[in-house]
Amino acid sequence: MTDWPLAELLPHAGDMILIDQVLAFDEEQIETRLTVQGGGLFNREDGSLPAWVGVELMAQSVAAFAGCHARVQGNEVVLGFLLGTRKFECNVEHFPLGAELRIHAQRSLEDDNGMGVFECHLTGPGIHASARLNVFRPPQPEQYLTQTTEETRHD
C-alpha cells in the first residue's frame, strides 16, 4: 500500500479519479481497489457502474502504476494515453453499489518509446473482468501534445 494521495499519482482531477487506493505495486504489476459508490459521473440510477467502466478502472490502475514509479524515481507524473483494449470480457453487466472491486494490472511489454501492454483483471463478489490494454506514454508529453495540435490545424 502507498501513502501517496491518488491525485499525486494520476494525471486526473476530481470526479475523474475512480479508483480509491493503491494496495501494492512492484516493478511489473500493481493492485488497486475501489468500492462502488453512487453519485459519480458514470453511475446508473441504482448507483451501480456499467461494466464498460471496467476498462477505465483498469486504465487508471495502469496510470497509477506509472505514477508510483515516477514518484519512487523522484520524477513528475506525466500524461499517458489508452490506445485501445483487446479481449475485454466481463461476466456481469454492471458492478453493484457497495461492491469492493480489485484491479490487478501486469506489465507484459513496454518499450523505450513509451508503448506498453498490460494484462488486467478486475474482480469482486461474483465479478470477473479481464482485458489487455495498449497504452502510450510519450517521452515528452508536452511536446507530443503541441505537435499533435499543430498537425491537426494544418490538415
pLDDT digit string (tens) for 77-120?
888 899 999 899 999 999 999 999 999 999 998 887 889 999 99
pLDDT number for residue 147: 61
Does residue 142 carry a pLDDT above 70?
A: no
Q: What is the mean pLDDT of the chain?
A: 89
Q: What is the pTM of this model?
A: 0.88
Residue with cell 501486469: 106
Least confidently predicted of 62-66, 67-71, 72-76, 151-155: 151-155
Instruction: Tell me the longest C-alpha to C-alpha distance in the chain.
Output: 51
Residue type, 134: N
pLDDT tens digit sequence for 21-49: 999 999 999 999 999 999 999 999 999 99
How high is the pLDDT of residue 14?
Answer: 76
Q: Do 116 and 81 form a contact (C-beta atoms < 8 A)?
A: no
In the chain the domains, ranked by start, together with CATH numbers, are 6-154 (3.10.129.10)
Q: Across-strand partners of 127?
A: 124
pLDDT at 5: 87
**What secondary structure does DSSP assign to 89-110, as a single string?**
EESSSEEPTT-EEEEEEEEEEE
